A = this chain, B = another copy of it.
Amino acid sequence: MSYDSQLRTSRRILMGPGPSDVHPRVLQAMATPLIGHLDPEFVTIMDEIKEMAQLTFQTRNNLTFVVSAPGSAGMETCLINLLEPGDEAVICINGVFGGRMADIAERAGAKVTKIEAEWGQPIDPQQIKDTLKGLKPKLVAIVHAETSTGVLQPLKEISKIVHDAGALFVVDAVTSYCGTDLKIDEWGIDAVYSGTQKCLSAAPGLSPVSFSEDAVKALDARKTKVQSWFLDLNMVKNYWQGAKRAYHHTAPVSAMFGLREAYRLVLEEGLENRFKRHQQNHLLLKKELEPLGFEFVVKEGYRLPMLNAVKLPEGIDDAAVRWQLLNEFNIEVGGGLGKFAGKIWRIGLMGESSNPNFVNTLVGALKTIIK
């Protein structure tokens, strides 16, 4: 049987929608022998991770921590803790992940109003303004970087509209975090979640989150128990803060070791430098890809630098070329999701994967295949 042998994986060049390439220092940290999850040394590591999460989220929010599960669980943490049955929620949908938020909010018993835009288009702030006129929602949720379409959603103007309507502003920053500017405090974001396997370049499996004081007030004002025990912030927060850490679940120790090192790499580079690097490599990819006939799905000004959604040129077979890229060149690029399946590629230049050598490697391979 195949599991008779030790792990044998190919050396992939990760240019899909995540996981991205991981620095050897992060891999090494994950291979550190374990310590207990209530060991004072581990509690210190949790504190350090919290502080680095605050720095990278550009926030002073005290309730900033890391959910012990992937980004989708971070999404669920934000929505089910803030929403109670009967609450109104407005969810903006212009791709897969907006749709997922609506699904989760509905499962939490919220009355969901959807604001939709074409896939590949940003949400128009005016549309939110108009919708909010007749409503009194508890929260408005939107995706900052829609991984299924490559759209970067401007947030500042919408934040003002949402707060003027007395609602909390919830943002999905899974793909944007640590790759493009994201100012939680300055932009007035009340709840945000991300993942570790995108521009942060740690292993998948964890979800950094942060909650504003207004969001914490909403948590404290709940009249019903949160549906999920595992994601109930009332308990999780006592595991992450306070003088006496209350056991809740067993933290994923090795993944946290890796995350700590990934955060250190981000801070060593500096956020501004990191954002600039992501933008530069996006522009390099654009310069090289367009002559080959690839067209960006999203109009200029709204393109994600870390997730390049491009329409395939005539005559290029999605599955066949991606198969060749993977099997002959060890390069992974992402296919389309949902209604974009078979029609677009999603080329990730995230974190460690955002570098000119990866761009040149992909372009070189494509030229060989397409010729």
Contact = CB atoms under 8 A, between A and B. Distances in A.
Interface string A32-71: 1111111111001100100110000000000000001111
15 contacts: A2-B44, A3-B51, A7-B45, A7-B257, A7-B260, A22-B33, A28-B31, A39-B326, A72-B230, A73-B230, A75-B229, A107-B228, A203-B253, A254-B254, A255-B255
A287 B312 CA distance: 71
A276 interface: no
Please report whether the interface of chain A is mostly helix, strand, loop or mixed according to DSSP. Answer: loop
A37 B25 contact: no
A225 B255 contact: no
A39 B327 CA distance: 10
Cβ-closest 9 pairs across A and B: A205-B252, A31-B31, A69-B69, A203-B254, A3-B48, A72-B249, A204-B250, A27-B31, A227-B227
B203 A252 contact: yes
A368 interface: no
Contact of A76 (B16, B228, B252): B228
A184 interface: no
Contacts of A1: 48, 51
Interface residues of A, number: 81
Nearest to A250: B204
Given A39-B332, A70-B68, A252 B204 contact: yes
B29 A7 contact: yes
A243 to B, nearest CB: 14
A223 interface: no
A367 interface: no
Interface string A218-240: 00000001111111000000000
Interface in A296-328: 326
A365 interface: no
Given A14-B36, A16-B36, A41 B229 contact: no
B257 A255 contact: no
Interface in A193-228: 195, 197, 203-205, 225-228
A21 interface: yes
Contacts of A226: 107
A251 B9 CA distance: 16
Given A39-B12, A197-B250, A204-B251, A69 B72 contact: no
Contacts of A264: 3, 6
Contacts of A251: 70, 204-205
A31 B202 CA distance: 12
